Amino acid sequence: MRTKMKVLAVASLAAATIVGCHGFLDVQNPGPIEDTSLYSPESVPPLVIGMSADLSNILSDIVRITGIASDELGHGGSYTQEGLWVRGIIRPEDVNDLWARMQRIRYEAESGVERMKAIKGFSYDTDANGARANLLGGFANRMLGESVCQAVINSGPVQSDTTYFQRAEAEFTEAIRIAGAAKNASDILTAAYGGRASVRAWQGNWAGAVADAAQVPASFVYNAIYSINSTRENNSLVQETYVRREFSLYNTMWAKVFKDPRVPWDTIKTSTGSIQTGQDGKTPYFRQAKYTSLGSAIPLVKGAEMLLLQAEAALRNGDITTAFNLINQERAVYKMAALTPPTDLPTAWKTLEFERGAVTWLEARRLWDLRRWFIDPGPAQNTFLQGRDKSIPISLAEYQTNANLAGLTPHECQ
C-alpha cells in the first residue's frame, strides 16, 4: 500500500509539473520561411554549400553509369539497368532520376548566382562564394555536356549538347573574374581555369584551351567532396564496389593494367583461396581501389589532365615531340617512367588516349572522350562505341512533362 501511494504521489507531482509548465515541452511549427528572408548575406555560404553537396551527390552516380557505359568498368551485379548500360543500352525510361538531378544542380547554381546578385550588402563581385557558385555551375554544365547527347534548359526546346559547354565557359569565366578579386580564392581561380580549358577544347577552341591549361600547376587537384556522415553525402561508387560487389574491372582493358598508380585495383580471395565473385555469383570481382572510403573525394580538375589536354592539342597539330614532352610531364606527377616518342601519329594517338583514360579513370570523363574520338575522322578515331549508345538521352519524364517536346519520340543516343 505504501509503495502504491509513493507511485501515485510521484505521478501526481509529475502531472502538476507538466500542467504548471504548459508549453515547456511544446513544439511550435514556425511555418514556411519567406523567400525574402533568404535574401541576406548570411544566406550565401549555406546556399553554396548546398550547391556543392548536390553536385557531389549526382557526380558519383554519373561516374558509375559512364564507367560501365564506357570501357572503365564491367558489371558483375544484380541491377537491371546497369546490366543494360554495360551493354551500351541507355534508354530514356531508365534515366529519369539521373537526368533530373543533373538538371537540378545546374538550375540551383545558375539561379543561386542570380539570387546573390540581388542581395543587398553582399559583395558579389569580390566574394569567394560568388566565384565558387559560378565554378559549381560550370562543373554542372560540363557534366551535362559530357554525359548527355542533347540539351534542354528549364523546360525549353531541344538544343545541341554544345549549349552546356557554352554555358559552362561563361560560368568558368565569371568565376575567374570574381576569384581574381576575392580573398582566399586561389584554388577556385585555378580550378576555373582548368574547367574552362576543357570546355573550350570541346568547342574546338584548342588555342584557348592550351592557354587556360597552362595556368594549372601539374600537382593541382580540385575535388568534389564526400563524407561518411550520411548516405546522401557518401561516394556511391564506393557503396557499390566496397559495401556491395556490383561493378568489376573484369573483362575491361584496365584489367590488363598492373601497378599503375592512376588505375589501382585489387582482387579479394574467398576462404578457399579462389577469387571472390560479384553480386551475380559468377563474374570475377576485380575491385576498383581508387576510392576506398565512402568519404573519398572525386577530382573535378587535375593538373595532370591539363598537361594531357595540351598534349592532345599538340597531336592535333601533328607535333609528336611536344605532345610526348607533355605526356612525360604528366607521368612524372605519378613518378612513372618517361615514354619514348613514336614516329607515327596513329601510335602517338593510341598512347595519348590511354594516358588520358588512366589519368581521368572513374571521374565521369571517359564516355565523352570515347564519343568525341569515335566521330573523329583522323588518327584519333576510337571505335569502342561502335554499335553502342553514345551517351545519356533526354529522360522519358522530360518528354512527358515538357510542352516543348510534345510530339517528339523519346530515343537513345546512338
Which stretches within 21-161 are classed as H helix?
44-69, 80-85, 96-117, 128-147
Task: Find the angle CA(250)-CA(254)-CA(256) to the nearest 5 degrees.
Answer: 80
pTM strictly above 0.85: yes
Say how far apart CA 39 and CA 386 lie, in whole Å. 51
d(CA 227, CA 109): 21
Contact 322, 348 (CB under 8 A): no
- pLDDT tens-digit profile of 167-191? 999 999 999 999 999 999 999 999 9
pLDDT beneath 50, residues of the chain? 1-22, 24-25
Gap between the Cα atoms of 240 and 296, Å rounded: 13
Q: Of the candidates 309, 320, 291, which has an alpha carbon nearest to the alpha carbon of residue 356?
A: 309
Task: Answer yes or no: are the C-beta atoms of 291 and 235 closer than 8 Å.
Answer: yes
Q: Are strands 158-160 and 298-302 parallel, antiparallel or unpaired?
A: unpaired
**pLDDT tens string 126-173:** 999 999 999 999 999 999 999 999 999 999 999 999 999 999 999 999
Check: CB of residue 356 under 8 Å from CB of residue 305: yes
pLDDT at 28: 59
- Percent helix, strand, coil in the chain, to 5, is 55, 10, 35
For the chain, the average pLDDT equals 93
Q: What are the residues whose beta carbons fall under 8 Å from the beta carbon of 61, sequence distance 6 or more?
A: 98, 101, 236
Tell how far CA 102 is from the center of its chain: 9
Closest CA to 254 of 326, 369, 169, 354: 354
- Residue-level pLDDT at 8: 36
pLDDT of residue 38: 72
Instruction: Decide: 390 and 366 in contact? Cβ < 8 Å.
Output: no
pLDDT in tens, 204-219: 999 999 999 999 999 9
Alpha carbon of residue 386 to chain centroid: 25
Q: How far apart are CA 16 and CA 368, in angstroms?
A: 70
DSSP conformational letter for 413: B
DSSP state of 299: E
DSSP of 232-268: GGS-HHHIIIIIS--EE-TTSGGGG--S-TTS-EEE-
Q: Which residues contact 180 (CB under 8 A, 6 or more apart)?
A: 189
